[in-house]
Amino acid sequence: MSWPLCVERMLEGDFGFTRQCKEDWFLVLDDIGAENEKIRELSTSKLFAILNERQHKFTVLTCNYGLADIAKRMDPRIASRLLRHGGSVVDSTGVKDFNLR
């Protein structure tokens, strides 16, 4: 699920999918941090709420930030939730992108 599209849906008043995000046993959220800077506060608060409810469930987030950047640019509590309860973070910062030739 594209996180910027999720945030757009929230701005339109559609919060029903956030309940599903909290309940599904496996969730993938793509492009965390790619949403518009003007709506970052809403995005950050909802992402924190979802991650806080998803403890002990499989969650995959993709982002163009490393963990330190997530803590600095978004919220240190989000970075903490990614590591809590044995979570793994794969930081591929600096890895060559073979799609950009």
**Whole-number mean pLDDT of the chain?**
83
Question: In 64-85, which positions are buried (b, 16+ CB within 10 angstroms) versus exposed (e)?
Answer: ebebeebbeebbeebbebbeee
pTM: 0.75
The domain ranges of the chain are: 3-12+25-86
Which residues, at least 6 apart from 7, have a Cβ–Cβ distance to it below 8 Å? 35, 36, 39, 42, 43, 46
Is the separation of the CB atoms in 70 and 43 below 8 Å? no
Alpha-carbon span 49 to 44, nearest angstrom: 9
pLDDT at 6: 87
pLDDT band at 15 (very low <50, low <70, confident <90, very high): confident
Checking if the pLDDT of 75 tops 80, the result is yes
pLDDT band at 26 (very low <50, low <70, confident <90, very high): very high
Q: Which is more confident, 37 or 58?
A: 58
